[in-house]
Structure 1
């Protein structure tokens, strides 16, 4: 679980989440196994439970907590409940595990 803090405001991010390029996410709580697609927008009033998927350019602006496995999709931000959690992109994870160590350099502490 990750945490980002801004004064007295904390953003809690669960495990196995995928946040794609251009997604704007201000939600304070994000559960596990969520997928936030390209250019989606989630306001600070919203919370995501587990297994949710916010589609490309979809917006979640209302003050609400999404039920588990909610899918928001399409031009009109339609909703449905999925039977399963969104799949974890194993291919992307393997590529990142292989490539990131090549581009990440650790600096030694001066202490």
Structure 2
């Protein structure tokens, strides 16, 4: 971790191979090989997000307000969030997809496919329960097969 200022919330889980640089606040599960790079402005990541392998969240341009990520989002493998993007809550950035620089994604937005299509899904109690179950599973399994960073 090369963060100038790292704030880790309760319930966060950070794999040893995750790369964190700059002013970063997290409250989520970071798989191995994730990169959160806050070279210029801060990156604030809410609670109960899942960042899968190879996810890159990078802010190299905007000093303020910086990048903001809401709660209970899923960033699938090799997805990217760039610039001072704001991601609402309950969003999904699909495998290999990325946001536009400085984009504002409303709650429940899904980015998917080769053309980076977007749609807004309806909030669903079943999906929310499944997301929490996925987090519970990851918090149990990731430490069994990966070295974890101390987050206290």
Would you say same fold, with TM above 0.5?
A: yes
Q: Give CA-to-partner distance per residue, 1:43-66, whole Å, 9 cap, x none.
A: 023110111100001111232210
- Aligned residues of 1:40 and 1:59 also touching (Cα < 8 A): yes
CA radius of gyration, larger in: 1
Runs (5+) with no aligned partner, structure 1: 107-111
Q: Determine which of 88, 92, 95 is the counterpart of 1:49.
A: 88
- Aligned residues of 1:2 and 1:12 also touching (Cα < 8 A): no
TM-score (structure 1 length as normaliser): 0.75
Query: Which range is displaced more, 34-43 or 7-16?
Result: 7-16
Runs (5+) with no aligned partner, structure 2: 1-6, 10-21, 24-37, 60-66
- Aligned residues of 1:2 and 1:13 also touching (Cα < 8 A): no
Report the CA distance shift for 1:8/1:80 in structure 2 as closer, same or farther (over 3 A): closer
Q: Which has the higher strand share?
A: 2
- Aligned residues of 1:69 and 1:83 also touching (Cα < 8 A): yes
The aligned length equals 106
Which residue of 2 is the match for residue 63 of structure 1? 102
**TM-superposed deviation, 1:9:** 2.7
- Aligned residues of 1:32 and 1:50 also touching (Cα < 8 A): yes
C-alpha RMSD of the superposition: 3.1
Which residue of 2 is the match for residue 90 of structure 1? 133
- Aligned residues of 2:83 and 2:101 also touching (Cα < 8 A): no
**TM-superposed deviation, 1:88:** 1.1
TM-score (structure 2 length as normaliser): 0.57
